[in-house]
Amino acid sequence: IALASVLKEEGFIKDYEVIADNKQGIIRIYLKYGANKERVISGLRRISKPGRRVYARKDQVPRVLGGYGIAILSTSKGIMTDKQARKLGLGGEVLCYVW
């Protein structure tokens, strides 16, 4: 849910909702499109995986496409973008890149 919240704050998705069922629950994400029906998210790459965790120190927080995209990190202060992590001087686990 925190990941979807970050994507909404950054303007990559229109909205999301949590649908409760009797199992694990469902997150429905509504994608955002531009004026000419072009997609807002042109790419997404998962970085950390269960078998290979990728961490970045505060001085090694990655930039995605020269600042055009965002990196989403899991820090001690919660899930946030690379820009927020740099501003707060935090490092953490690099979850994914979105551009």
Domains and CATH numbers, the chain: 2-98 (3.30.1490.10)
User: What is this structure's pTM?
Assistant: 0.89
pLDDT digits (tens, 9 = 90+) for 58-94: 999 999 999 899 999 999 999 999 999 999 999 999 9
Work out the pLDDT band at 21, boundaries 50, 70, 90: confident
Handedness of CA 67, 71, 75, 80 (dihedral sign): positive
Q: Which helix (H) or strand (E) holds 78?
A: strand 78-81
